[in-house]
Amino acid sequence: MSALREQGAAPTTPGGMIRARTDGADQLIAADEPLAGLQVRSGSAVPGAIAMPALLSLVRRVRRTGQPASRTILSVDEGYPVTAMAFVTPEGEGTAIELSQWHRGEEAAAELPVPEALLHHLAEAEILLDDAQRVIVADVRAADLAGLAAALETGRGRYWTDFVTIDRVSDLMTARQGPLHWRLLDDAPFAVEGSTRTWRARILPRGQGGFSLLAIPEAIEELPVSPAARAQKDEPEDAQPGWNRLLGRDLAPALRQPITRIIANAETIRTRLAGPLAEEYASYARDIADAGRHLMSLIEDLADLEAVEAPGFAPAPDHIDLADCARRAAGILSVRAQERGITLVTPHANARVPAIGEFRRVLQVLLNLVTNAIRYGPEGSTVTLETGEDARGTWIAVQDEGQGLDAEQAERVFEKFERLGRSGDGGTGLGLYISRHLARAMGGDLVVTSAAGEGARFELTLPADPAA
């Protein structure tokens, strides 16, 4: 039994509980093994910055709100997946952490898909489920889900689907047997009594069995059109959206479910859950699943495109920290970078660059920029995320060591569907176009400076936070 990495601290508690403490700056000042060991192997220390991004996010929320919270966290330790159940409570200026069900996988971690990693930051409720999808515990953060939180608290042990209304219930559910296979319910839209928003269920398997159910607000919603915009188009006030609103309003939700089923069935075949299968057929199933994911990515990009181009689109401004956003983006993509031997350099743990912007939109832009830098940079190179403030406002830059862009390519790179001659890399040619739209909608801009053979530097500027 190892002691906390702090002089005079108590040893690890019986029953496998791992305890730790943080200070008012969210620094880990004491930790039991194996958390302390993960800190050191990840390049941090005790005391030092928390090396598990999901745990850091939870600690920050508890310190900010003063309310205890719990969630399942996922991280990587020297290429191996690590899962644990974290319970964090306020303690003095910092927090007290209790980790249970700590599990380090025996096989190297596969790449964590960017959308699922990002969903942990966007979820407004997380429900821990057992193997049969029955409720164990819930962490609900949205005010309009207060009724759901109360129902889940008194209804532990029941199927999570008893507490929500899922679209096309007869197609997805059987009252006699409870929920269908989790893959068929993953990304299913649902409604909650007391909330006017549409929600989606993202179901993530846990390392030791059971699932984490993330409640995500519907990303593509119908956007209001101002009376002035309608007047310019000579549309009546009660006019319905035209064909150019088709994807986000009707087509994208309708396509998500069948594509999800295609992916789920292909994965069932590939993993031989239905029985023995020749290797070549398992390979075919893998190709089908990959093609389905690519199609889903295209749909999401097109839906985002429709949203940012819609009249009246406006991100929700908030007080954010660009240095924190940089560290989060790097943490989400760290596994992908490690697979290519690419080093991600981020601002110092104590660096702060206050700005005004919508957090999830800024993170969306950064994930696109860093993903591109990792995808097109040479193996063994470095991708640097820098932040700063000048007369233009605040800025965050992503610099790679790739082939760079000549003047003509730099002019075209932000155009819609522009791939610069690349093919077969899984991209849609919409990411940078959407990212620039988002940057300008938030009162900033996205530009590139590059020269052929010298790498590319993409810089996102945003208004400075006058209250900081």
Please give the tally of structural domains in the chain: 4
pLDDT at position 175: 43
pLDDT at position 422: 54
Residues 6+ apart with CB under 8 A from 1: 11, 12
pLDDT at position 9: 36
Question: Which residues constitute the domain of residue 37?
Answer: 14-106
Q: Does residue 2 form part of some domain?
A: no
User: Are residue 225 and residue 293 in the same domain, yes or no?
Assistant: yes
User: Are residue 32 and residue 43 in the same domain, yes or no?
Assistant: yes
User: Half-sphere exposure (CA, 13 Å, Cβ side) for 126?
Assistant: 22
C-beta separation of 365 from 371 below 8 A? no
- DSSP labels for 265-281? HHHHHHTTTTS---HHH
C-beta separation of 371 from 114 below 8 A? yes
pLDDT at position 225: 39
User: Are residue 169 and residue 188 in the same domain, yes or no?
Assistant: yes
C-beta separation of 205 from 110 below 8 A? no
Give the amino acid at 96: A
User: Are residue 347 and residue 377 in the same domain, yes or no?
Assistant: yes
Q: Does residue 5 form part of some domain?
A: no
Segment (H or E) for 82:
strand 80-91
Cα 260 from Cα 257, distance rounded (Å): 5
User: Are residue 60 and residue 22 in the same domain, yes or no?
Assistant: yes
User: Are residue 100 and residue 116 in the same domain, yes or no?
Assistant: no
User: Are residue 407 and residue 457 in the same domain, yes or no?
Assistant: yes
Q: Does residue 346 form part of some domain?
A: yes
User: Are residue 337 and residue 392 in the same domain, yes or no?
Assistant: yes
Token pair listed for 128: 């821990």
pLDDT at position 464: 93
Q: Identify whether 47 is preceded by a cis peptide bond (ω within 30 of 0).
A: yes
pLDDT at position 229: 38
pTM for the complete prediction?
0.48
**Which CATH number belongs to the domain containing residue 86 in this structure?**
3.30.450.20
The single-letter DSSP state of residue 3 is: B
Local mean pLDDT, 10-residue blocks, the chain (468 residues): 38 62 90 87 81 81 83 74 85 91 66 53 83 88 87 91 75 52 80 88 81 76 37 41 46 68 81 77 82 75 74 83 92 87 93 92 91 90 94 93 86 78 58 90 92 86 88
**Which CATH number belongs to the domain containing residue 159 in this structure?**
3.30.450
